[in-house]
Structure 1
Amino acid sequence: MRSPGHAGPALGAVVVWMIAAQVALHAQMAGVRLLLPLQVLDDGGGALGAGLLQGLFAVLPVLLALPAGRLADRHGYHRPQRAAIACALLGSACAWAATVWAEARAPLQALAALASGAGANIGLIALMRSAGRLSDDPARRLRLFGWVGVAPALANVLGPVGIGQLIDHAGWAWAAASTLALPVLAALVVTRVPPEPRPAPPACPAARDPAGGRFALLRRPGMPALLAVNALLSATWDVHTFAVPLLGHARGLSAGTIGLVLGCFTATVTLVRPVAPLLADHVRPLTVLRTAMVAAGGVCLVYPWSQGALSMAACAMALGLALGAVQPMVMATLHQLTPAARHGEAIALRSMTINASAAVLPLIFGLAGAGFGVGMLFSIMGLAVGAGSQIVPRLVRVLAARS
């Protein structure tokens, strides 16, 4: 089988190389995202300082999402990937410098968070946009998104687990330096992905999208509802990523053990994402989406009661099962709701909503955690995502009207 947008290698090989490149980019960000807040806590900083730093990972993704999506729409896969790799290299270099230059640690940590977040996000937008164009068949596209979703999930296993172990056994500087190898690896892998032909420009601006405008996609039926659902799911993921290090640190767990708990979560996500599209043969994708939201809400309500590493890992795996099943469904629905010429921009809008909440929520999490305890964060998020499942029927009605 050949890719409609790529010449030469079979579709499977193209997808494998694209996934491998994104695993490297995302693992760099995930590793730095564990290292920096733990370093803040080790230096005596509190939940608020860790929350501020973690929020910086999402600042540039918000600002650069639309330009990255439009860059991918205009130039395809490779140009955005080169920008992503450059950002990831800068992030790793600053993270390492922060471990050896104590006088400038805070600004270097901030720059490392900004650059690392930008690199992973630009690469992911390019990957999602290109993967969605590899097939015109909806069922096959859903399976493709299931496999593509493995990239950030697998990276979120390798990054935190690897960095946690290196911190424990080699120290902060070696752990940070190790992340420099990942964007270099991504640069090598990207060369194996063949260039796609640039699309011919439309005869007139209106041909691109009759609605036109920077945020015209937000006016398309179903798009606000889908973005709201996706934001809730992403916020649940963010609560878990933010709260588990704090919860584990408060209970005396080592950095390696905390990394393993996070790794259990993302390992489950990695395993379930390729399998989730198979459910679409028996159950409507939006039914899977609604069920997963209710289940995620229930796990969040139980999570604060877990006391040790084993019970935390069990909750992490249950939450990963719920959240891992939804990403292919969301991406396939996004492609159904948007015109082909603006798929990159639509993915960028999704990225903006995710990262806008990710930039603000850690600060809120830090304030709430300092004032009310980490357990309250899980409880609030559980109620919110459970209630948000009531948005899904709107999407069912929109897609039924389109068909």
Structure 2
Amino acid sequence: MTSQTAPKGTVPANVAGHVPTPDQIRRAPKVLLHDHLDGGLRPGTVVELARDSGYAELPETDPGKLGIWFHEAADSGSLERYLETFRHTVGVMQTREALVRVARECAEDLAEDGVVYAEVRYAPEQHLERGLTLEEVVEAVNEGFRQGERLAREGGHRIRVGALLTAMRHAARSLEIAELANRYRDSGVVGFDIAGAEAGHPPTRHLDAFEYLKRENNHFTIHAGEAFGLPSIWQALQWCGADRLGHGVRIIDDIEARPDGSVRLGRLASYVRDKRIPLELCPSSNLQTGAAPSYAEHPIGLLRKLLFRATVNTDNRLMSHTSMSQEFEHLVDAFGYTLDDLQWFSVNGMKSAFIPFDERLAMISDVIKPGYAELKSEWLFRQASPTRGSTDSEG
């Protein structure tokens, strides 16, 4: 165990940094690593796809009411109702046309929200009910992402979207999906993931898939440390060799915060921090699943102070009624974060992406840092009084 005092000054006080407005947060270049394609549909799209495909099981057919139903069902505390929400979104994503549209709109929506790089995950095995093959699912989603990127550029926004192929923990197709991810690694797929209920379905059930990916020098993340706690984190890292932790929020269970302000890190927490293992934290989703009682009490506050490789993510934008901008707004309200903090989270995300190092570096140097610098300059300019002039305020 290691004992220390939380670093001072890691979160700038308001006097040392500007607390951003909602508009600045929206325009800030953001990075998203943990977002589920079937958890981010537009309610209107769900209604239209259901009508076109003959899917007659929606609880509401008015888009506004359906959006409210998704959020309330996901927020109900009932696992059955939460899982039912995905039954409906997956249910309307069973044709090539539907997959292309959903992926296109996903890229457009993220770009409109200021996301410049995103890794969006989905389980190809869940989209085969109407005869599509695994390959046809992947190619349809990739096509949709490329269309969305192009439309975003035409609208004045820049975004790059990579796909993560997910295998379901309770199923037995993880090696097949890992092989699929490897075949499409140069065609829009950047990595692999496993998802689903952690309890009773440990990642060690899928060791053959992880061993295959390591032999192929491919990237993978594992949903771990969301509901099941430290054992799932340890297994994901030490048995499976995950590059990132999907959620990983329960690493806080290995950190003791003391009344005097000092903290003690357990050996697993120390390992995660020392090895710079990225945590794909999803604050709003974590509140829904009970990982934290409020934004102000979310572990991300302490993890940021202790300089873990913390990233901010949406998880399921439809079910959590959220966006990257809204996630940042909640954290700004809870912790007084400044543009410097938001840049720190965004750089962390880009450092942790599953694309080549030089491309990550270019995104940080050419897109993220200049984007935040421009927002800070705008704020400084507005602070300059007419009598002093802008040059004095920046001196």
TM-score by length of 1: 0.23
Higher helix share: 1
Higher RCO (CA-CA < 8 Å; seq separation 6+):
1
Which structure shows the higher strand fraction? Answer: 2
